[in-house]
Amino acid sequence: MQNSRRQFLRQAMISSSVLAAGIPSFATTDEQMNRSSEAERKGQRFNMCGYAAPKLETVRIGIIGLGMRGSDAVERLSFIEGVEITALCDKYPDRVAAAQKTLEKAGRPKAKEYSGEEGWKALCDGQDTDLIYTPTPWHLHTPVALRAMRNGKHAAVEVPAGKTMDELWELVETSEKTKRHCMMLENCCYDFFELLTLNMARNGLFGEIVHTEGAYIHDLSRDWNFNKKAYADMWRLKENIGHNGNLYPTHGLGPVAQCMNINRGDRFDHLVSMSSNDFTMNDLAKELAAKDPFFNEYTDRPYRGNMNSTLIRTINGKTILVQHDVSTIRPYSRIHLVSGTKGIAQKWPGPARLAFGHSWMKPEEQKKLEEKYTLPIVKHIGEIAKEVGGHGGMDFIMDWRLIDCLRNGLPLDQDVYDAAAWSCLMPLSERSVSKKSRTVDIPDFTRGAWSSNKPMSLTLEGGGTTGVRKVKK
């Protein structure tokens, strides 16, 4: 009784302190940590790493969220043969109508329409889709993916896959239980140099990988986050309030995690995270509010620190630096860096470079090496991807690869464990920042299977059969 009372009072004090400090409760409470630990102890229901779902001759897709990312996805997916876009959904009906025009222009049949606050639920519950493709605001990623899988559909969800540890564990357990794929749409894993370095890493060119770096450094403030016409209901700006950590880790983290075989021979062990103060967002809100009262509610708010740096150590003793800054004036960078005992690859800032000694390779020498280690998927679909577009082609390579795997019954390049492990930096970095950069353990979402899981396949063996319609842009 005494212990129960002490635990109750302790939890009450933690919760009140969290609320008073404006820190989201999911990032700090013992209750959340205990639930995550309890989930980890249950053991795998089924190992989704390497799982090949039954073939789908035609992949019927429902797309939920038709803003910037969603509308582009409708166009890209329309080029892929073996695809039927059977359902479209957005909170705003005019966006659905615009997507229908895209389908009409591509010579595709009209899709079933859903709209309103709850439209996504009806789409997931329907019987005319095999894959739910979800480029919605962040808070809907997990609810949509869960409902899709529970209704027998595969889920392809934009980044991050979930915002809390409980959400991420629920994604893992639901994917295992339903044997439905939950792939996070981490497009940066399919950029050309990232695929090249992945193949080089697999072939031992860098030796033993010791350290990697990734980032998302992109000034989004004035043109995007504070733009009334950019994100519906200012949702992305609101995500920057009261959440102090790395809010968008996966673009930089995903490609280097694949190079290091995370969840497939190694795994994340723990992290420490530190954020600067905010030196720009409140000032910009006040500047805008002086001209437009709309921005008054965004002044004097607890914005996240401008720069967050998170350092991860893996079970095998490797380190990863992940950074996030979308509110200071810096050139765009994902800082893709892979450093090993025999060599290094680096892109952002500056051009993509390779070194296997004390100086960078000469361009003509590097070009020969790149030609040798370019992956079959890039040779097969890379030029078409550049024509279709989507961040230089990487979006289309990602979409085509996903569809080709589903049609040929192949394992996906990214599984639910990757989605959870890469996304968990969001809540765990916040937890570390809130505790003066103390160490935070990273759970093993595979629950032990990481030690025997095989690295993802880099070949087109068994696949590569999905065609592409003639590009007319």
Provide the residue-wise pLDDT of the chain in tens; the chain has 473 residues: 444 444 444 444 434 433 333 333 334 444 455 444 545 556 778 999 999 999 999 999 999 999 999 999 999 999 999 999 999 999 999 999 999 999 999 999 999 999 999 999 999 999 999 999 999 999 999 999 999 999 999 999 999 999 999 999 999 999 999 999 999 999 999 999 999 999 999 999 999 999 999 999 999 999 999 999 999 999 999 999 999 999 999 999 999 999 999 999 999 999 999 999 999 999 999 999 999 999 999 999 999 999 999 999 999 999 999 999 999 999 999 999 999 999 999 999 889 999 999 999 999 999 999 999 999 999 999 999 999 999 999 999 999 999 999 999 999 999 999 999 999 999 999 999 999 999 999 999 999 999 999 999 989 999 999 999 987 65
State residue 26's pLDDT score.
Answer: 39
DSSP letters spanning 128-183: S-SEEEE---GGGHHHHHHHHHHTT-EEEEPSSS-SSHHHHHHHHHHHHHHT--EE
State residue 461's pLDDT score.
Answer: 94
Task: Tell me the pTM.
Answer: 0.92
State residue 29's pLDDT score.
Answer: 46
State residue 471's pLDDT score.
Answer: 79
* Strand blocks (E) in 318-404: 319-325, 336-340, 344-347, 353-355
State residue 284's pLDDT score.
Answer: 98
Closest CA to 431 of 169, 244, 277: 244
Name the one residue in this structure whose structure tokens are 């609101």: 238
Report the chain's terminal Cα–Cα distance, integer Å. Answer: 71
| Contact partners, residue 6, CB within 8 Å, separation at least 6 | none
- Scanning 218-264, the segments in alpha helix (DSSP H) are 235-239, 250-259
φ/ψ of residue 259, rounded to 5: -60, -30
Domain residue spans of the chain: 188-375+413-451
As a whole number of angstroms, the distance between CA 284 and CA 36 comes to 38
State residue 42's pLDDT score.
Answer: 66
CA distances from 43 to 40, 150, 169, 325, 448 (A): 6, 20, 12, 36, 8
Neighbours of 242 (CB within 10 A): 16
State residue 349's pLDDT score.
Answer: 86
As a whole number of angstroms, the distance between CA 261 and CA 318 comes to 11
State residue 473's pLDDT score.
Answer: 57
Looking at domain 188-375+413-451, its CATH superfamily turns out to be: Dihydrodipicolinate Reductase; domain 2 (3.30.360.10)
